[in-house]
Chains A and B, each alone.
Chain A
Amino acid sequence: MSSLLNVSSSPHIRQSDNTTGIMLDVLISLLPATVFGIVLFGYRAAILIAVCVASCLVFEFLARKLFKNQGSLLDLSAAVTGLLIALNLPPRFPVWMAIIGCFAAIVVVKQMFGGLGHNFVNPAIAARIILLISFPTHMTTYHEPFNTDAITTATPLGMEECYLSVKELLFGLHGGSIGETSVIMLAIGGIYLIIRRVISPTIPLSFIGSVGVLTLILSGNLSDAIFAMLTGGVFLGAIFMATDYVTSPTTTLGKIIFGIGCGVITVIIRSGAAAEGVSFAIIFMNLLVPHIDGITVRKPFGWEAKKQ
């Protein structure tokens, strides 16, 4: 053996999972909701999705070069952000506005803070909030399903009196953002992520659960509680945005605190008339993650109280 062998620190074997695989799983899990959104809202939704994904990838490529950040386009994290932004937009949202949202998410929130793994809030949530504040009318103009003409309708949460049945809410045959309407499609994606061990069910369950429980306590009405859980993007937010690794706690206890925090803030914001509870709740809890991590450090195996 003439040449030197490769040496490195142990371990010398690695499991095959990588970041790209995880992001691909997230994309796959969003497929049911995406396809359903396109079927429901037509080609305009498809265009919006394509534009968001593409512009996120372009911004990621350029910004990463500019800021010399680590990472690669192939890790697909920008594609996930793009898809999530699109699913959070009304179907006929102007394309140029969506591109601004993607710019905000990828360039400002993600790459300017160091790229993948360094953003302190979820880029897709931040984009949604920035667009909502910048273009409030467009962000709240919704459309009837199966009707490409602009017939505006309020989302169930925005209605004075909701006439939709639980069944209609579950299937999502109503107005809303492209990807938020069908609870069933979102749940299928969530179950896929849990089975693939990409996410643990802790955050979604504590988030959705606390929205339901708190609404039940406040209203004393079970149907109100069910309605609160099934509308306003709770499922989309709880399964796909609150579980973002970078901006959620790593310990189980931390995840429970985070999930309940999201749920409680959602209900509080909603009680003050604004329909936009989920996004603000998640972004607020995102900011608390370092502190939640700080107070939930686990005691190591064999830890003794008196020694410390």
Chain B
Amino acid sequence: MSNKERILSPAGNIRGGTYLPHNKNTSKCESVVIPAPERVIIPLRQHIGAACEPTVQKGDTVYVGTKIGDIDRLVSAPIHSSVSGTVEKIEAIPMPDGSVCDAVFILSDGNMTPDPSIKPPTIKTKDDLITAARECGLVGLGGAGFPTHVKFRIKDDVHLDTLIVNGAECEPYITADERCCLENFNDVLEGVYLIKEILGIDKVVIAIENNKEEAIQKLYSIASDARDEDDTVKVMRLKAKYPQGAEKVIIYSTVKRKVPLGKLPSDVGCIVMNVSSVAALYKYITTGMPLVSRRLTVDGTAINEPKNLIVPIGTTLKEVLSYCKMGENEPTRIIMGGPMMGTSVPNTDYVITKTNNAVLAFYESTLPETTPCIRCGRCAAACPMKLNPASIEQALNAGATEKYKKLYADYCMECGSCAVGCPARRPLVQVMRTAKKEIRRING
């Protein structure tokens, strides 16, 4: 059988979604490690769940990989220092989502000395793997930031048959996962086999969009590895359709199962991990170095030379942008994350966190003018959850909470497919967020 035939076609094709210009300008840009910044500001909450308590004090000496924050709560992940140096202060900083979070300010000594106490863990059992994922500080690197060790804590009576390795990277511009597949290929390869073996998973599907052929061919060698005797590790070429990489979407595309509202992938026998998360976990297992840096794409119309950078966590946007050749004029919009689901920030004092896969800078100065909804139905046609955002907006504006609850507003995953194609430029994602919040408030 030839290579091509061995690469699987999608098992399912979700309705809706949208075809966007890919703008993957950096897919050939090898990642550059930026030098130690003078100072890093590391937020103590970079994941879904409880914020960490600081485990260091002002004046403490820290190294790369020294734990600086942790908390004894199930849904949380520890935070580590990304530079060597001295703790300057612990102070609250604003986060891109509008919240405020305590952060550890560390003055770098410029040496990037690794913590002498770090050593690779031994992985024999499932519990070892869970502990390793936790101590690594690993969270879902695709953007959601769900702590990986929580994902691994599966009840004994639940059998997971499929590990889905998510390499879809469906957001325009971003190539961080793609570069990870190519540059950290060995970590992905070994990580996949390790997780499969330790968790006792039957089969693995490495799913990736068809606009990354080089990575697909590279990943194919994982599937054709000698260890895969019973042919249970497969690469799948997905249609490059946004939001292909959304968890519920990729589960449907790869194994044709639907995750109900409020349920987890494990409820349908799946575990989904981002390729970068797999690589980061394996790197920790071999080196003992926890998650302290982040590969991210810097691109956008205001960047003259787009790049992929490997950045210590806690580096400010200002510092990140200073490593890229900017256009002549100053950008008017900077986005942390992708253009579809990322957050625009008011200044460049914000810092890179574990889940931050891109920094995009644009010239576009004003928001497009909003015109009245003409009920064209494009939002509903594009919604992968089969909702009708226009009707929900109408109900929301009328204050009819019961109505938009009946329109299933709480199913929205805020992918933005509705708003991107709206000819009236209505702020539909904002509408959906408000509606969801209102439903949550009423449900208590």
Question: Contact between B367 and A302 (Cβ–Cβ < 8 Å)?
Answer: no
Give the residue of A11, A116, A251 whose beta carbon is less than 8 angstroms from that of B340.
A11
Q: Mark B353-395, 1 if CB is under 8 A from A, else 0.
A: 0000000101011111001111111001000111110110000
Task: Give chain A residues whose Cβ lies under 8 Å from the Cβ of B14.
Answer: 301
Give the residue of A7, A301, A307 whose beta carbon is less than 8 angstroms from that of B385.
A301
**CB neighbors of B among A145-179 (8 A):** none
Is residue A118 contacting chain B, with contact meaning CB distance below 8 A? Answer: yes
Contacts A1-B330, A300-B386 given; does A11 touch B339 at CB 8 Å? yes
CA distance A95 to B268 in the complex (A): 67
Contacts A1-B347, A1-B348, A4-B347 given; does A10 touch B248 at CB 8 Å? no
Contacts A1-B348, A5-B334, A14-B425 given; does A19 touch B420 at CB 8 Å? no
Task: Give chain B residues whose Cβ lies under 8 Å from the Cβ of A77.
Answer: 374
Question: Contact between B391 and A293 (Cβ–Cβ < 8 Å)?
Answer: yes
Is residue A220 contacting chain B, with contact meaning CB distance below 8 A? Answer: no
Question: Contact between B346 and A5 (Cβ–Cβ < 8 Å)?
Answer: yes
Task: Give chain A residues whose Cβ lies under 8 Å from the Cβ of B360.
Answer: 12
Question: Contact between A118 and B388 (Cβ–Cβ < 8 Å)?
Answer: no
Using C-beta atoms within 8 Å of the partner chain, give the interface range for chain A: 35 or more
Is residue B56 contacting chain A, with contact meaning CB distance below 8 A? Answer: no
The secondary-structure label for the interface of chain B is loop
* A-binding segment of B83-91, B104-112, B291-299, B426-434: B426-434
When C-beta atoms are compared, the residue in chain B nearest to A251 turns out to be: B380
The secondary-structure label for the interface of chain A is loop
Q: How far is the CB of A110 from chain B (nearest CB, A)?
A: 11
Question: Contact between B423 and A5 (Cβ–Cβ < 8 Å)?
Answer: no
CA distance A106 to B339 in the complex (A): 39
Q: How far is the CB of B397 from chain A (nearest CB, A)?
A: 12
Question: Contact between A10 and B258 (Cβ–Cβ < 8 Å)?
Answer: no
CA distance A5 to B259 in the complex (A): 38
* B-binding segment of A68-76, A185-193, A209-217, A262-270: A68-76
Task: Give chain B residues whose Cβ lies under 8 Å from the Cβ of A15.
Answer: 18, 420-421
CA distance A293 to B377 in the complex (A): 11
Question: Contact between A116 and B347 (Cβ–Cβ < 8 Å)?
Answer: no
Is residue B49 contacting chain A, with contact meaning CB distance below 8 A? Answer: no
Is residue A22 contacting chain B, with contact meaning CB distance below 8 A? Answer: yes
CA distance A301 to B360 in the complex (A): 31
Is residue B408 contacting chain A, with contact meaning CB distance below 8 A? Answer: yes
* A-binding segment of B68-76, B273-281, B303-311, B411-419: B411-419
Q: How far is the CB of A175 from chain B (nearest CB, A)?
A: 34
**CB neighbors of B among A1-59 (8 A):** 1, 4-15, 17-19, 21-22
| Interface hub of A10, A21, A77, A248 (most chain B Cβ within 10 A) | A10
Question: Contact between B372 and A115 (Cβ–Cβ < 8 Å)?
Answer: yes
Q: How far is the CB of B219 from chain A (nearest CB, A)?
A: 27
Give the residue of B20, B260, B371 whose beta carbon is less than 8 angstroms from that of A71.
B371
A residues whose Cβ falls under 8 Å from a Cβ of B:
1, 4-15, 17-19, 21-22, 70-72, 75, 77, 115-118, 245-246, 248, 250-251, 293, 297-304, 307
9 A-B pairs with the lowest CB-CB distances in the bound complex, closest first: A11-B416, A250-B377, A9-B430, A117-B372, A300-B411, A7-B344, A300-B408, A13-B339, A302-B258
Given contacts A298-B380, A303-B411, 17 further A-B contacts (CB under 8 A): A5-B331, A5-B346, A7-B345, A11-B339, A12-B344, A12-B360, A14-B368, A14-B425, A15-B420, A19-B372, A21-B423, A22-B374, A115-B372, A299-B408, A300-B411, A301-B248, A301-B384
